[in-house]
Homo-oligomer: A and B are copies of this chain.
Amino acid sequence: MDNINRKIIAALQQNARISYAELGKLVHLSAPAVAERIRKLESAGVISGYSLKVDLDQLGYPIVALVQCKVFRTKEREFKAHMLACKSVIECHNVTGEQAFLVKLAVQSMKQLDNILESFLDFSDTNTMMILSTPVDRAVPQTFYD
């Protein structure tokens, strides 16, 4: 992981569809050299994929909520399965604290949110926060670019 790879990753993070030729200009390397470095980063799992930044609001999901779930001692396995099955769940993190998970939900309406939270009650106590705005959203810490 030298500085060239870091620059490549930083550039791809800003625009994952940039061409190898452009990347080559940025790091003063030929297009095949850049392609080879990226291939290696991919097979090492450092780069795990290429994704889209979308506007959930415009896609019809105006409501994003964060739900703290205190999962019942005996229900952790079932809870995880429910998270994977629940289509509105966009993130689920197992965090320190008593049987705690933090779940990010994107929904079309409050009614839908209500139904989903009700379904969570079979496995956990919940505490819901609505996301009002997101002042910072980066894939990678900025220290990385140094």
- Count of residues in A whose CB is under 8 Å from the partner chain: 63
- CA–CA, A138 and B56, complex, Å: 12
- CA–CA, A47 and B49, complex, Å: 17
> Is A137's CB within 8 Å of the partner chain B?
yes
Q: Which residues of chain B are within 8 angstroms of A131 by Cβ–Cβ distance?
A: 93-95
Given the interface pairs A51-B51, A93-B66, A135-B83, the reply to whether A59 lies near B88 with Cβ below 8 Å is no
Q: What is the count of identical protomers in the complex?
A: 2
Chain B residue at minimal CB-CB distance from A134 = B93
Q: Which residues of chain B are within 8 angstroms of A80 by Cβ–Cβ distance?
A: 135
Q: Which residues of chain B are within 8 angstroms of A139 by Cβ–Cβ distance?
A: 51-54, 90
Asked if A44 and B58 sit within 8 Å, CB to CB, the answer is yes
- CA–CA, A107 and B109, complex, Å: 35
Q: Which residues of chain B are within 8 angstroms of A91 by Cβ–Cβ distance?
A: 134, 136-138
Chain B residue at minimal CB-CB distance from A50 = B16
Asked if B52 and A47 sit within 8 Å, CB to CB, the answer is yes
Asked if B58 and A49 sit within 8 Å, CB to CB, the answer is no
Asked if B61 and A141 sit within 8 Å, CB to CB, the answer is yes
Interface segment, A7-15, A24-32, A118-126?
Answer: A7-15
